[in-house]
Structure formats: C-alpha cells, structure tokens
Amino acid sequence: MKYILSIPIFYPVQVVAEAQDKIKHINTAASGPVEVTAIFQVLAALIFIIILIIAMAWGYKRYGYKSFSNGSLMKIVGAISLGGKEKAVLLQIGDDQVLLGVSPGYVRKIHDIKEPVKPQENSDSSSFVSRLNIELQKVLGK
C-alpha cells in the first residue's frame, strides 16, 4: 500500500491522511482536563487589571491633572462649585484677578476684582466661600 501511495498522483491523499492524524492528536490534547490553577491565574490577572484601571480612574478624578510649572503667570486662587457642573473660579493673571463662571462648554467673565484677594496659607474653603459671597454681593449691589 505504501508503494501505491508513493505514486505522485496519490500525494494529496497522503497529505490529507497526515493532516487527519495531526488533527486527531490536537483534539485529544485539547480535550484534556484544564488545570484549576491555570483558571485561577487568569482570573487573578483579570481582577488585578480591573482593580488597577479603577484605581487609576479614581486617582485621576481625585487629584486631576496637575501642572508642574511654578513659573506660570496664571494661577487659580480659588474655586467653588455652584451646581452639578457649574463653578465659579477666581483666577489671578499677573497682578489682576478675574472671577469666571465655568460650565461645560462655556466660560464667562463675571467680574474684574479691583482689590486682589490674597490667598492665605492655611485657609480652608469656607473663608474663600465667604469672601466670594461678599464680592458677589458687591457686584450685584445687594
């Protein structure tokens, strides 16, 4: 029979027979039991990656993007949230200070402050809020 398969006409038959033997070998190897440790390793890696992504998103949301240029001419003196997505920002540009209203897709200048607000070193956010309320009352004339 080997002599007949060695005739060039039967080469495709021989190739198909060898391929079927290889497929049988692969199928028997793949159908073997999967080790439990391999499953735990894959699950542990997946959980680690998900936790890493969540931690990075939390860190970015918590600390935001910080610019490390100390020689900047513009500085944010303070900010206060006015609603879900709106906030008031006190911006210092050189010696001038500007109060801005910031919302998604829109920034509006509310007022130029004549007497610049000096930030205190150990001030909490409530002092900024009170100072901002005083400035807003001056602007609105109430």
The model's pLDDT over 55-114, given as tens digits with 9 standing for 90+, comes to 999 888 887 766 555 667 788 888 888 888 899 999 888 888 999 999 999 999 998 888
Confidence of residue 11 (pLDDT cuts 50, 70, 90): low
pLDDT digits (tens, 9 = 90+) for 33-57: 778 888 999 999 999 999 999 999 9
Q: How far apart are CA 10 and CA 15, in angstroms?
A: 9
Geometric angle at alpha carbon 109, from 105 and 110, rounded to 5°: 120
Geometric angle at alpha carbon 79, from 117 and 133, rounded to 5°: 60
Distance of CA 113 to the CA centre of its chain: 36
- Selected residue with higher pLDDT from 108 and 29: 108
- Selected residue with higher pLDDT from 69 and 138: 138
Neighbours of 3 (CB within 10 A): 6
Q: What is the pTM for the complete model shown?
A: 0.39
> Average pLDDT in the 119-140 region?
72
